[in-house]
Structure 1
Amino acid sequence: ICHCIINCDMNSTRRLDSLSEAFLKNFITFAIAVIINFINGTFVYTYFKSHVFQRDPRYVLYIHLVINDMIMLTTAVALQIITYTIPLKLAPCCILSSKTFFFINSVPLNLAGMALERYIAVCKPLHHVQICTVQRTSGFITLIWAISLMPSVTDVIFLVATQPLSIFSRNVICYESNIFRTPFHKTHREIIQGLLLCFVFLTVLITYLNVLWAARAASGLNQASARNARNTILLHGVQLLICMSSFVSPFINIMLVTTWPEKRTTILFTSYLVTGILPRLLSPLIYGIRDKTCKILFVSLL
């Protein structure tokens, strides 16, 4: 989401949009976000009402991902609306941007953890109960927070160290390039996200291949379980590719805008919806619809 905001040049888009266009875009984004958060919220409610979910590390990681998506979506939409409406002081805008970057980093790490859990369940079933406990899963989530937080803290520390404190009381359009504008910030974020996504991509790929081989070697119920795990990991890979699309979308935007410059704002807004907003529906679709246990408990509790 954050990369899309950066590369879509929302500051320029804000100046080009008419009042009616700005209202329509913000209304569409807000409405979609409310619908997605409502759907995700129902699964969060179901999770906390069911002890079955809370005792299963698989669903602990899942609900962490869903809550992460809800917070990230809310923050991103708030930033968009603020960008179109009022300037903020640099300090609160810095906090909002850092918060968004924090949740962006935690998504691929959470996907890696979910892929590893499925790999252990299928390929090392005798050790699954000992390795994948709720306590260890909570520790893994804490590790995700720590790793995701470090780049944001580094950005803020570098900003404080290199800029006068007076800039934090300055009014700015809440747009990330207006805050973290130094070459260090740009390079730092590109390196961090590049390394992070490459690591998670290799993790998902390796776990998928191992589960695929296990599915071919298994038989009966074990084969069905391995096949389901393989499909789940494959869908996690799709989620990861969508996360990685933030690196590709700027180049696609440039080509589309160059071809149809008169539709610039529409192209950028559509790209923002496709790569930043709509993917937040993937988590409930993967588990809420495909997972039989989730569907049964969801219907019974609601």
Structure 2
Amino acid sequence: MSNNSSVAVGSLQQQISFRVLLVQILVAIFLCINMLLIVTFFKKECFHTSTRYILFAVMLLSDSFVLILSNVLVIINFLQFAIQVWLCTVISIVTLLYVAVTPVTLTAMTLERYVAICLPLRHAELCSTRRSMHCILVIHGISSVPCMLNLSIFFATAPLGRYEQRALCSVEIFILQPWQRHFRSAISQLYFFIMCIILVFCYIQIVKVAKAASGENKQSTQKGMRTVILHAFQLLLCLIQLWSLFTEDAALKADFTLFMDIRYCNYLLFSVAPRCLSPLIYGLRDEMFCLIFCPYICEVHFFLSLGLS
């Protein structure tokens, strides 16, 4: 009996190790792509005057922060390393902020496409470099509201001794009452409901312009439509991440192993995947970005081949 249990524990540890290794590979690949795209953005001044590319760089940076910090938490939890709650609070504030920055930035990019296609004469005025800087501040301000509201409740209800305690860093340590989970979910779903309305409005308006357009304008408009659809798909994945909390709660009450399986799948599909789509949708699909980005890939491949030889 003891042999069977030890074999079961060993196979479980091996399975968990494979899962963590898979996460490391995925995160490493897309962090490298993100870093190359960010370097491409900062090296070419032609991108610095376009709101479209400025917002794209903001989204790449926020996605990279989320991938790095969430991966750090995965490793910490895998090693069963408990840290003090105050340190976990700092990490969580940055993580939750940039988790929200991605969908808010997606919405801003959709609005930029709407202005470019439906209001082309006002695009230079509404999407100037100065307004882009203001837009970045607004994005971070809007994104910080859910995080600050949820953590303010924790700060108001948690005793002072709680911050010095050690625990595995996860969102659950900030939820002291069941209603806090529902409150957090309600705020997030309100945000995403507003974003979905904006997306649907922009898509309908772009479709109207596409029907009236012809020639090159029609091709540009159709490309804008496809971009908005891809943005909607990313937002849908982020929205499902909110609902996944309820499935995890139900699984935790039923079986811990099932809970760990569902949480791992949710992390890959609804946390890592949307952030891996960003460089594919707005980087590698963009002709101008791809034209400048490809030589960097060739240089990296060349230096890697020299190092391996």
In the superposition, the TM-score normalised over structure 2's length comes to: 0.85
Per the alignment, residue 48 of structure 1 pairs with: 42
Per the alignment, residue 198 of structure 2 pairs with: 203
What is the aligned residue count?
288
2:66–2:98 CA contact under 8 A, matched in 1: yes
**Structure 1 segment 265-280 matched on structure 2, within 5 A:** 265-280=260-275
Root mean square deviation, CA, Å = 2.6
**1:43-72, Cα deviation, whole Å (9 max, x unpaired):** 001000111111111000011111111101
Q: Share of identical aligned residues, percent?
A: 27
Counterparts of 2:31 and 2:20 in 1: how far apart (Å)? 16
Instruction: Show structure 1 runs of 5+ residues with no match.
Output: 1-14
Q: What is the deviation of 1:253?
A: 6.4
Residue 75 (structure 1) aligned to one of 69, 79, 85: 69
2:34–2:279 CA contact under 8 A, matched in 1: yes
Residue 211 (structure 2) aligned to one of 212, 216, 235: 216
1:242–1:279 CA contact under 8 A, matched in 2: yes
Per the alignment, residue 121 of structure 1 pairs with: 116
Per the alignment, residue 26 of structure 2 pairs with: 32
Note if 1:105 corresponds to 2:73: no
Per the alignment, residue 140 of structure 1 pairs with: 135
**1:173-225, Cα deviation, whole Å (9 max, x unpaired):** 11211223334532331122111100111101110110011011011111111
Higher relative contact order (CA 8 A, sep 6+): 1
Q: What is the deviation of 1:25?
A: 1.9
Instruction: Out of 252-261 and 283-292, give the one that drifted further.
Output: 252-261
**1:3-38, Cα deviation, whole Å (9 max, x unpaired):** xxxxxxxxxxxx998432332222211121111101
Counterparts of 2:156 and 2:246 in 1: how far apart (Å)? 33
Note if 1:66 corresponds to 2:60: yes
The residue type paired with residue 246 of structure 1 is Q
Per the alignment, residue 247 of structure 1 pairs with: 242
The residue type paired with residue 56 of structure 2 is Y
Q: What is the deviation of 1:301?
A: 5.5
Per the alignment, residue 235 of structure 1 pairs with: 230
In the superposition, the TM-score normalised over structure 1's length comes to: 0.87
Task: Name which one, 1 or 2, has greater alpha-carbon Rg.
Answer: 2
Note if 1:193 corresponds to 2:191: no
- SS of 1:215's partner is helix
Residue 154 (structure 1) aligned to one of 140, 149, 152: 149
Instruction: Out of 154-163 and 233-242, give the one that drifted further.
Output: 154-163
Q: What is the deviation of 1:109?
A: 1.1
The residue type paired with residue 157 of structure 1 is S
